A = this chain, B = another copy of it.
Amino acid sequence: MNQLEIIDMVKGKGFKITPQRRAIIEALFFFEKPPTAKEVLEIVRKKHPEISLDTVYRNLNLLAEIDCLIQINLKNSETSRFEIIKNHHHHLICLGCGEAVCLESCILDRHMGVLREKGYQIVGHAFEIYGYCPACRTAG
């Protein structure tokens, strides 16, 4: 998913495109690792010095709700990170180094049908596995 596709998605759901929102979406593509909300703020402030942290959080949450972004909450009390969804997938997150390893398939699919039949409307989901990668395991 690229910037334009995300913007179309936002419009399609009936939300407005503001300069701040556009800048936040742009910023998300600058990073190699999924950024924190603060890191996004720093980038966006170059164009919009007055933007508030709340606006960043609000937009990140919106993007997560419409399934353009996933919020990664490490258990080891690092602050949350936000990653653009390219192909929909989930992660194994290493508690040692924070590396997020992609899992191939989306496990939600199995449940979707059953839940829909029961009358539930699904708007999002989170699935994370916590553990240690081989390197951190060796290092102790």
Contact = CB atoms under 8 A, between A and B. Distances in A.
Given A119-B133, A124-B129, 7 more contacts: A73-B126, A75-B124, A119-B137, A120-B131, A122-B131, A123-B132, A126-B126
A46 interface: no
Interface in A111-138: 111, 115, 118-134, 137
Given A65-B75, A107-B107, A111-B103, A130 B134 contact: no
Interface centre among A110, A121, A123, A137, by most B CB within 10 Å? Answer: A121
A121 B103 contact: no
A61 interface: yes
A10 interface: no
Contact-size category for A: 20 to 34
Interface of A: 61, 64-65, 73, 75, 92, 95, 101, 103, 107-108, 110-111, 115, 118-134, 137
Contact of A122 (B123, B125, B126, B130): B130
A69 B64 CA distance: 26
Nearest to A120: B131
Contact of A131 (B124, B131, B134): B124
Given A64-B75, A75-B61, A75-B64, A123 B95 contact: yes
